[in-house]
Amino acid sequence: MSEPRPVTSGTAYSALSVSDWLRLGALGAMAGTTAGVLFGVAGFVIQTVITQQDTAIYGDAAVDHGAPFLSSGVILSTALLGGFVGMLYAGVRARQPGLARWGGALFAGLVAVVLQPLLAGRLSISAVVSPTITSTTPAGYVKSGPQIQDLASPAQELALMVGLVFLMALLTHLLLELASRRLPRLPAAVYAVIACAIGLPGLAIFGLFFLAATGAVGGE
Per-residue pLDDT, 57: 85
Contact indicator for 131, 146 with CB cutoff of 8 Å: yes
Percent of the chain with pLDDT over 70: 84
DSSP-assigned letters across all residues of 175-211:
HHHHHHHHSPP--HHHHHHHHHHHHHHHHHHHHHHHH
CB atoms within 10 A of CB 14: 7
Contact indicator for 31, 175 with CB cutoff of 8 Å: yes
Q: Reply yes or no on whether the pLDDT at 8 is more than 60.
A: no
Contact indicator for 89, 147 with CB cutoff of 8 Å: no
Q: Reply yes or no on whether the pLDDT at 220 is more than 50.
A: no
Spatial distance between the Cα atoms of 172 and 108, rounded to a whole number of angstroms? 9
| Entry pTM | 0.82
63-105 pLDDT per residue, tens: 877 888 988 789 999 999 999 999 999 989 888 888 888 889 9
Per-residue confidence band for 134, with pLDDT thresholds at 50, 70 and 90: low
Q: Rounded to 5, what percent of the chain is helix, strand, coil?
A: 70, 5, 25
Per-residue confidence band for 140, with pLDDT thresholds at 50, 70 and 90: low
Q: Reply yes or no on whether the pLDDT at 11 is more than 70.
A: no
